[in-house]
Amino acid sequence: MQISYHGHSVVKIQTNAHTILIDPFITGNGQTDLVASEEKVDIILLTHGHNDHFGDTVDLAKRNGATVIATFELANYIESFGISVHAMGIGGAYDFEFGRVKFTQAFHSNSYTTESGEVIYGGMPAGVLLTLQGKTIYHAGDTSLFGDMKLIGDRNDIDVAFLPIGDNFTMGPEDAAYAVQLLKPQIVVPVHYNTFPPIKQDPQIFKSLVDTAEVQVLKAGDSVQWNRD
């Protein structure tokens, strides 16, 4: 299994049988190395509907025949495009062929803005716990720091966590570093920074604040390195 980061909050998981994309904001993402028209994907996981996370979901799903897994309201909207979806709720888990998905709470907002300017309400935002091939991956989505991250960490052995550090819209470096203490992952990767001026951050500052996990600051296209079992 290969887990790679592709700028902003885009994460790709490749197994022998499946390619999974989380929050596939590719077109218009100046931080990514991906080209939307070239991506092959089986599963798309969405934390919420903001355009910088929803991204190329519709085009990717239609072209590849991919299934989109999202929270209920967002899944219903995506289904209106004739796309295969699997709707879930916060706290719910489901065992798919490729692995187990569980949506966690996140403290943020959730909507999608169409090209005509219409704002589509997306229900609650979420984080995602993905367990497959003996590894547990936590993608926090866009969120503030919240105390129940301790419950997530206590109830799950997290191998790698993707945490936003951009501040302004989400946690900043200090709060994200505290989140690491609550979540107790082996590896943490900072995401959701430097894409736009309001979220400009130095990830090395975040790294310097974390002493309970291995911080891997990844460039677009880099993969998580498993330095320990």
* pLDDT for the residue numbered 228: 58
* pLDDT for the residue numbered 226: 87
Contacts 24+ apart (CB under 8 A), 10-16: 10/34, 10/55, 11/137, 11/139, 11/162, 11/191, 13/130, 13/132, 13/137, 15/98, 15/132, 15/133
Q: Give the contacts of 16 (CB within 8 A, at least 6 positions apart).
A: none
Give the residues across from 104 on adjacent strands.
127
Phi, psi of 174 (to 5 degrees): -70, -45
Element (H, E) at 70: strand 67-71
Question: For residues 51 and 208, what is the distance between their CA atoms, to the nearest angstrom?
Answer: 31
Question: For residues 117 and 126, what is the distance between their CA atoms, to the nearest angstrom?
Answer: 24
User: Along the 229 residues of the chain, how does pLDDT read in single tens digits?
Assistant: 999 999 999 999 999 999 999 999 999 999 999 999 999 999 999 999 999 999 999 999 999 999 999 999 999 999 999 999 999 999 999 999 999 999 999 999 999 999 999 999 999 999 999 999 999 999 999 999 999 999 999 999 999 999 999 999 999 999 999 999 999 999 999 999 999 999 999 999 999 999 999 999 999 999 999 875 5
pLDDT tens figures, 143-159: 999 999 999 999 999 99
Domain ranges of the chain: 2-215
Phi, psi of 81 (to 5 degrees): -90, 5
* pLDDT for the residue numbered 227: 73
Q: What is the DSSP string of 93-118?
A: EEE-SS-EEEEEE--S--EEE-TTSP
- The model's pTM is 0.97
* pLDDT for the residue numbered 66: 98
Radius of gyration of the chain (CA): 16
pLDDT tens figures, 98-142: 999 999 999 999 999 999 999 999 999 999 999 999 999 999 999
Q: Give the contacts of 213 (CB within 8 A, at least 6 positions apart).
A: 161, 180, 184, 185, 186, 187, 188
Architecture of the CATH domain 2-215: 4-Layer Sandwich (3.60)
* pLDDT for the residue numbered 220: 98
